[in-house]
Amino acid sequence: MTRIAPGLAGIPTEVDVVVVGLGITGAGVALDAVTRGLSVLAVDAHDLAFGTSRWSSKLVHGGLRYLAQGQFAIAHESAVERGILMQVTAPHLVHALPMLTPVNDAMPRSRTALTWAGLHGGDVLRRTARTSARTLPRPRRLNATEALNLAPALRADTLRGGYLAWDGQLEDDARLVTTVARTAASYGAEVRTRARVTSATGTAVELRDELTGEAHRVSAKAVVNATGVWAGDLDDRVRLRPSRGTHLVLRGSALPETRVAVMVPIPGSRARFAMVLPQPDGTIYVGLTDEPVTGPVPDVPVPSEGEIDFLLDVVATAFATPPTRDDVVGAFAGLRPLLEVADTDETSDLSRRHAVLTSPAGVTTVVGGKLTTYRRMAEDAVDAVVASTGLAADPCRTATVPLLGAASAEELRHSTAPARLVRRFGTDADLVLATAREVTRLPDDELLAPASDLVPVTLAELVFAITHEGAHDVDDLLDRRTRVGLVAADRAAAEPLARRALEIVATTSQPNAHG
């Protein structure tokens, strides 16, 4: 039986590949390896998506920014991976996001020309990656009335018009990680949380069960270190220069009827923008900063007051009634796992490309990159271990292996399951509801009722998170399987429902029995 479970009880003592870390990179490596026919144990010291992968902007981007920096190979790679996610592997979790760059009197002509040229460059990337214009429409110019229709909260007095372009937006970053991990488990990978690797070589890992404190040893033909900003702990030759990125969380009502993402030029910079990003759950994120970080890597990074002020100041330049401190209902920060590069002090200049490195002890580290390119990172890492160990493995298949629940928007439109579940689970929405019915014996109106007026989370998805997604406690449920935890007040409102789900599953069924 395949499963995602907390702790190390019953793990195999020998596998082909041990994957350390279950952010998007480790989950991707587990899926890549298991679909090539290798036996896999994948572990995380905390939980699925505990690290950087849950603090992103939730964009699946086509690499426009890299194009601007002249990094054509990485820009093309991003655009290709975006197309695979949106058209083949995860169309249920990634949708097209319209992004508006307002043009106003204060914007120099040189900057508007550069922005328009950049958006065209992005469209060329889309075409060379063979992503259809039905998936991501071509950019176009808008007049001031059209721009205001899409974002009525913009400052109208100085607005001259805008540019509308499209990129990919995730339903949620942690949901992508969970879905990749569950897909890996469905192919036979053993996926464990609360399982810390305390030391590793290329042929074995020592593990500690964080629930019981028990030590375990597992032999392997290959060990892949996918621990992101913590990668240096398992291979001290890996040097990272983490940079912190902060987002604010606002209620939708703070910038009413903002139906598109808004790119707000950062005053004084040539090509940098702050982003106003409406989320599927009705909140709005405002991001993003880029601050070098030194010293020990914290488990959960914290935004600084300066970053919060900076983001509010930039956004204030574009909106008629700008959000204030009182509108900030949450804020979160993540650390980018950037590889150290000689001769640069600016973290924004460090390469975003991933690297695969093998330590003298034989541990293969895969680090850098981003959510968008996780599949390619995993392919490169597994290619490297196959080449160095001689493991008999099939060629990489993940460009054509749909994640669980995958279906096109057109197919999902015909689903009769509740809309929220379809958005988060695709065709598995029916399985989520059927599982909740079977486990709880409660009526649908109780299983599907939102936790509160402002919190759309349902009991059905919390139960499924425990039975199928390895959720072990309230934090897993509220901070990773759902993202209620991004707003403290919402978290408090949803906590009783999470406790209820844990109690029901504990008393009525065998958790994790479904794979």
Residue 134 C-beta: closest distance to ligand FAD, Å: 22
| Local structure of 491: helix, strand or coil | helix
How many other CB atoms are found less than 10 A from the CB of residue 1?
Answer: 8
* Nearest-5° Cα angle at 65, 59 to 68: 165
Of 58-66, 132-140, 387-395, 470-478, which segment contacts ligand FAD by CB under 6 A? 58-66
Residue 44 C-beta: closest distance to ligand FAD, Å: 5
Q: Give the HSE-up count for residue 353: Cα atoms under 13 Å, Cβ half-sphere.
A: 16
Q: Which is nearer to ligand FAD, 3 or 46 (CB)?
A: 46
Q: Which amino acid does the sequence have at 439?
A: V
Residue 343 C-beta: closest distance to ligand FAD, Å: 23
Q: According to CB under 6 A, which one of 33, 41, 50, 339 is a site residue for ligand FAD? A: 50
Residues 125-137, buried b or exposed e (16+ Cβ, 10 A)? Answer: bbeebebeeebbe
Structure tokens at 365: 């580290």
Residue 29 C-beta: closest distance to ligand FAD, Å: 9
Size of the site for ligand FAD (CB under 6 A): 38
Q: According to CB under 6 A, which one of 11, 29, 33, 44 is a site residue for ligand FAD? A: 44
Nearest to 63 by CA among 148, 138, 125: 125
- State how far the alpha carbon of 365 is from the alpha carbons of 243, 348, 370, 390, in Å: 19, 23, 15, 18
371 binds ligand FAD (CB under 6 A): yes
Start-to-end Cα distance in the chain = 7
Binding mask 221-260 for ligand FAD (x = CB under 6 A): -----xxxxx--------------x---------------
59 binds ligand FAD (CB under 6 A): yes
* Nearest-5° Cα angle at 379, 54 to 67: 70
425 binds ligand FAD (CB under 6 A): no
167 binds ligand FAD (CB under 6 A): no
Q: Which is nearer to ligand FAD, 238 or 396 (CB)?
A: 238
| Local structure of 66: helix, strand or coil | helix
Binding mask 194-223 for ligand FAD (x = CB under 6 A): --xx--------------------------
Structure tokens at 30: 């587990």
Q: According to CB under 6 A, which one of 15, 17, 24, 41 is a site residue for ligand FAD? A: 24
Q: Which is nearer to ligand FAD, 226 or 393 (CB)?
A: 226
29 binds ligand FAD (CB under 6 A): no
180 binds ligand FAD (CB under 6 A): no
- State how far the alpha carbon of 189 is from the alpha carbons of 38, 60, 185, 330, 381, in Å: 9, 26, 4, 36, 17
Radius of gyration of the chain (CA): 22
89 binds ligand FAD (CB under 6 A): no
Structure tokens at 429: 């929405």
Q: For residue 368, how far is the Cα from the chain centroid?
A: 14
Q: Where does this chain bind ligand FAD (CB under 6 A)?
A: 20-26, 43-46, 50-53, 55-59, 61, 196-197, 226-230, 245, 288, 334-337, 369-372
